[in-house]
A and B are shown apart, each in its own frame.
Chain A
């Protein structure tokens, strides 16, 4: 049967063997077989022709090298456990403490656990100021002509630090939240920027999970976007198979459901510093990520290291710190997919995928959320790698008020949405593609 030839899965309600529903099924089959015929020609995938190119095998390989490298580093750094002194600065005077923790093994999360579980659960970032034992900063510096502030010269600057990253020196520790009424704007800006970046990294994982292997998608760029723009983005490149994809509302709903299933696993963000060769080995299948690695390491020495972040099975290249756990996220909606133009190569089609999210402590009423979502549908023009195709008005394909309301579970007895319970899927996206040269259509199909 035609239906068996297509590898796209049919809806659950259709049973192909049953004669009564064959009509609906056959229509689908025609559509899908058209798609399959286009892809039967051997295409040069974005993946290089390694023998085993499936996504699960690549991920297993990456995870295995990650674990191996981490084990190697630990055995080198910690032949014998040493102690470091950490001064924790709490919210009040009574909260501060001095702790003696293990070098290269204990993380700010462990320090927070010593204080209380709520502090550890609600912690997002740590600020670490290393103790200046050699007094290198107190030595006389030539005056640079700038304004001298007493604070800058004598004290070392605090470094933003992941919660699950082990501490290698004596230091002072401060733990940051999303809502700190006694802190300055600088602290809040840091936390917001980091939340934006980590949510963008999750988008990359969503894209990898969403599409089937036929539609070869390569992760292109992770841009730094300021919070004021209203959305975070991930740039993605696809081949000819998805060139005519016109994303509709149900595709976006699907992507958010996949994002939910990733976030609900409560994954920790783990960091690893890796040298150039092992990084190239891990990301050998995607030339855009190799480009990213070479861009980061361009101006640096031979021994320079790259920081990789892993959550669950997904590994990505990123510089700055990230939030501690995906359980901090409450709202998460993929709002738009915008098409960009690649002028040099007509085969490759870059896209910009945008999304919006808010953390658990800063929940927002659903009416306010739909307003923010509508703003996030416009193309974010910061750090655009290529110019966009078409107008912004052409992207108004969302029919219902907000996508998030479609992913909430509704209780008929009370007439309300159930809070904290979301619809998830582990299925695969069936993108809506306009197909050319379909014989059974009576009118000729116009190609734009």
Chain B
């Protein structure tokens, strides 16, 4: 395997470590502001990971030092910080992990436009914009019902064990 592709996962450079962090900072900020972005697939994929981790960190609370540091770095604008804590946190309080949705767009078939590359759309779930035409898993089919019921069972057992 060539360098930069261990185990098939691509490690992208984005022009260097400093430039990369700056780019991702702006993208995370923009996602929180607009709740839906259209960028290249590579940038969307990376911001997805950072945004979901950010929201997990904010669940520790505003008084947490680590949380404050992280939020001050990744979301420099004040307005977006307030939006994170006041709007997005209550929205995702019961959501467990996947807060964003990544939809890949079709590629340009025209040769002149080929330089655009693979484009994608990220959005935060539960946003007020009209929905994307993405195929979601049907939660009412048999296997999904069974899995949801099994998950409930395990959560219940785990909470019982913790109390005891």
Residues of chain A within 8 A of B153, CB atoms compared: 230, 375
CB < 8 Å neighbour of B143 from A180, A191, A229, A362: A362
Query: Is there contact, CB below 8 Å, between A358 and B142?
Result: yes
- A368–B145 contact, CB under 8 A? no
B141 near A179 (CB under 8 angstroms)? Answer: yes
Give the distance to chain B from A193, nearest Cβ to Cβ, in Å: 10
Contact status B145-A228, CB under 8 Å: yes
Q: Is B162 an interface residue (CB 8 A)?
A: no
User: Nearest A residue to B141 by beta-carbon distance?
Assistant: A179
Report the bound CA distance from A191 to B143 in whole Å.
12
Indicate if the CB atoms of B150 and A371 lie closer than 8 Å. yes
The listed residue (B135, B140, B141, B146) touching A230 by CB distance below 8 A is: B146
B146: chain A residues within 8 A (beta carbon):
227, 230, 358, 372
Q: In whole angstroms, what is the CA distance A232 to B146 when docked?
A: 12
Chain A residue at minimal CB-CB distance from B136: A181
Specify which of B135, B140, B149 is in contact with A185 (CB 8 Å cutoff).
B140
Q: Write out the residue numbers on chain B whose beta carbons fall within 8 Å of the beta carbon of A296.
A: none
B138 touches A227 (CB 8 A): no
Cβ-defined contact, A375 with B150, below 8 A: yes
* Contact of B150 with A192 in the complex, beta carbons under 8 Å: no
B70 beta carbon closer than 8 Å to chain A: no
* Distance between B54 CB and nearest chain A CB, rounded to angstroms: 30
Q: Which of A399-426 contact B (CB under 8 A)?
A: none
Closest to A195 in B: B142
Q: Is A66's CB within 8 Å of the partner chain B?
A: no
Q: Does B147 contact A (CB under 8 A)?
A: yes
Report the minimal beta-carbon distance from A382 to chain B, rounded to whole angstroms: 12
Q: Tell me how far the C-beta of B46 lies from the nearest C-beta in chain A, rounded to whole angstroms.
A: 28
Beta-carbon contacts of B111-147 to A below 8 Å, as 1s and 0s? 0000000000000000000000001001011110111
Contacts of A311 in B (CB 8 A): none
Q: Are A230 and B149 in contact (CB under 8 A)?
A: yes
* B138/A192 in contact, CB under 8 A: no
- Give chain A residues whose Cβ lies under 8 Å from the Cβ of B135: 181
* Across-interface contacts of A227 in B (CB, < 8 A): 142, 145-146, 149
Distance (whole angstroms) from the CB of A185 to the closest CB of chain B = 5
Give chain A nearest CB distance to B79 CB in angstroms: 38
Q: How many angstroms from the CA of A188 to the CA of B140 in the assembled complex?
A: 6
Distance in Å: Cβ of B164 to nearest Cβ of chain A: 16
Closest residue on chain B to residue A196 by CB atoms: B142
